[in-house]
Structure 1
Amino acid sequence: MHDISSDIPTKAGFVAVVGRPNAGKSTLLNWLVGEKLAMVSKKAQATRKRMNVIVMHGDAQIVFVDTPGIHEKERLLNRFMLQEAIKAIGDCDLVLFLAPAKDPLAHYEKFLALNTKNRPHILVLTKIDEVSNEALLKKIAEYQRYQDRFLALIPVSVTKNVGKEALLEEIARHLPSSPWLYDPEILTTSHIREIYKELIREAIFENLSDEIPYETDVIVEKIEEIPRLDRVYATIVCEKKSQKMILVGKGGSTIKRIGKSAREKMARFSDKKIHLELFVSVKSGWSKTKKTLAEVGYSFD
């Protein structure tokens, strides 16, 4: 790998990864970078904020921007998430629109309506392993009516490891000539505090069902870093006392399970031992006002 200040021509740019909730955006990014960075959950709307994930491909530095799913709901937090996705589209050099192979074209048509700045985009057909070859060809044919709107259509399957090289090549081809924007050794511009927050949130999603994960969030209060150990102090914020009781569980069983899962994820990411202290706090209506959302880390412009 050549030096960041090398005279060899390089490319670099920001690539927004968008699609409906649960289209596989975070899964795709973790696959492309080869590391577990972005939060993955089978539950829709798990991702709440943008996160940069950096992939080096030849002489190109691709800065992917993971975004919340494109959806329209009245809740203030959902409006923040939609704003995050729209801002990412407007700020980037290129957009990847992820369309699961079983999806109707309506989601893509909604994206076209939101892409008011006509940012160039690549259509990525995901989860192709879930449909037959015949159904896949039929779906590709359906998208051809919009072929003058997208730069390319790339079918991929993370499960079968299909399409990665073709996708990275196509992205690199359309990036502007530019010096690299970040040290080529780093994988994300997110701080360790943000990554630990997302890993704790992922543990909550995995260990609780129904609405509770959507009405909770995590504040990482403090991290003490020493060479082979991180001490992490974090608070899970919920809306109601009844939710706190469920989060804590009988005799603390649920919070212990969440903590164990989160510690394992954090240790895998940091390659360090993790001492995690988790607290649960009730902040009634935290997701319903701009002031309380900002306290949890979601600030509107």
Structure 2
Amino acid sequence: MPKSGFVGIIGKPNAGKSTLLNWLLGEKIALVSPKANASRKRVNAIVMYKDNQIILLDTPGLHEKEKLLNKFMLNEALKALSDSDLILFLVDIRDDIKGYEWFLELNKKNIPHILVLTKTDLVSKEDIAKKIKDYEKISKALKIITVSAALGNGREELLDAIVEYLPEHPYYYDPEIISTENIRDIYKELIREALFEKLGDEIPYEADILIEKLDEYENLDKIYATIIVERESQKGMVIGKKGKKIKEIGIYARNLLEEFSSKKIYLELFVKVVRGWSKNKKMLEELGYEVET
């Protein structure tokens, strides 16, 4: 009997959750951005490892409830917490241990977890050893594992640890598929990554992508997408002088989309101002965010 189970990836914003998911999967399906709270929805990735099936649940960063969109994001993370057989709690090695203490309070069901210290390439070996000792004083984790996706360190150790603590169970999904997400959602996230990459801090947090139409063919996908912003000034930033910026976004997005799909991509981008969309339940649902009020 193989082992198979659901593994929630939980952590504060910018802990490296989406990077870890893509790294363990060996495919890019989750948005990666240095912008805090870039991930908004759960993303399920299916990793086959030594004939075992690991279903990774990538989640938005844990943060306090504020706007309606943020409330949705926190609920997504908490649902993943309760749905998981095992939790990977990720912490940037440079962060304070208070984030882990908060997680222990949230984990009311005491779901088993592995503490994963990320971005270890950014500090010295001495700093890593010291931080591990700090966590060992309060840790309730099955294991503490250090990783660096940038250097490729710790991947097999982490996958072996995950399999060790998963239950014996038949596969939940066809082992040939890599995600339960539909193609529209993956395309949306890749376009949103291009938006953040090309505009950086210029584009506010309140920006999103609506896939208006997707035509799929054997060797070509045609995507028509609208970039949603909240103010006219933001629309100007996205378009840029003589349309230069939106062209850059489109080229970068198309490269991401073609790399993922192994198809040619025709991408047409539009920009629309929707004032207060991140606080509007109807608009959030149109963008794919089911908000509980």
Please state which band the TM-score falls in when normalised by the shorter chain: over 0.9
User: Which residue of the partner structure matches residue 109 of structure 2?
Assistant: 117
Query: Could you tell me how far 1:208 is from its partner in structure 2?
Result: 0.9
- The answer to whether the 8 A contact 1:53-1:65 is kept is yes
Within a 5 Å distance, the mapping from 1:146-295 to structure 2 comes to: 146-147=138-139, 149-210=140-201, 212-295=203-286
Query: Could you tell me how far 1:213 is from its partner in structure 2?
Result: 4.2
Query: Could you tell me how far 1:242 is from its partner in structure 2?
Result: 1.4
- The answer to whether the 8 A contact 2:202-2:237 is kept is no
Query: Could you tell me how far 1:272 is from its partner in structure 2?
Result: 0.6
Alignment deviations for residues 234-260 of structure 1 (CA, whole Å, 9 cap, x no partner): 111111111111111111111111111
CA pair 186-213 structure 1, distance change in 2 beyond 3 A: farther
- The answer to whether the 8 A contact 2:117-2:145 is kept is yes
Query: Could you tell me how far 1:210 is from its partner in structure 2?
Result: 2.5
- The answer to whether the 8 A contact 2:35-2:200 is kept is no
Alignment deviations for residues 183-231 of structure 1 (CA, whole Å, 9 cap, x no partner): 1111111111001000100000011132624111001111111111101
Cα distance in 2 for partners of 1:193, 1:83 equals 22
Query: Could you tell me how far 1:54 is from its partner in structure 2?
Result: 0.9
Within a 5 Å distance, the mapping from 1:74-85 to structure 2 comes to: 74-85=66-77
User: Do residues 10 (structure 1) and 2 (structure 2) align?
Assistant: yes
Within a 5 Å distance, the mapping from 1:61-72 to structure 2 comes to: 61-72=53-64
- The answer to whether the 8 A contact 1:94-1:121 is kept is yes
User: Do residues 36 (structure 1) and 28 (structure 2) align?
Assistant: yes
Query: Could you tell me how far 1:11 is from its partner in structure 2?
Result: 1.2
Identity %: 57
Cα distance in 2 for partners of 1:101, 1:169 equals 21
Alignment deviations for residues 150-183 of structure 1 (CA, whole Å, 9 cap, x no partner): 1111111112211111100110011111110111
The one of 31, 46, 49 aligned to 2:41: 49
Structure 1: unaligned runs, 5 residues or longer: 1-8
Q: What secondary structure, in the 3-state scheme, does the structure 2 residue paired with 1:279 have?
A: strand
Cα distance in 1 for partners of 2:236, 2:127 equals 47
Q: What secondary structure, in the 3-state scheme, does the structure 2 residue paired with 1:300 have?
A: coil
Q: CA RMSD in A?
A: 1.1
- The answer to whether the 8 A contact 1:204-1:213 is kept is no
Name which of structure 1's ranges 70-79 and 184-193 shifts more when overlaid on structure 2: 70-79
For normalisation by structure 1, the TM-score amounts to: 0.94
Structure 2: unaligned runs, 5 residues or longer: none
Cα distance in 2 for partners of 1:283, 1:42 equals 25
Cα distance in 2 for partners of 1:137, 1:284 equals 49
- The answer to whether the 8 A contact 2:120-2:147 is kept is yes
Runs of 4 or more off by more than 2 Å in structure 1? 209-213
Alignment deviations for residues 247-276 of structure 1 (CA, whole Å, 9 cap, x no partner): 111111111111111111101110111001
The one of 90, 93, 107 aligned to 1:98: 90
- The answer to whether the 8 A contact 2:40-2:60 is kept is yes
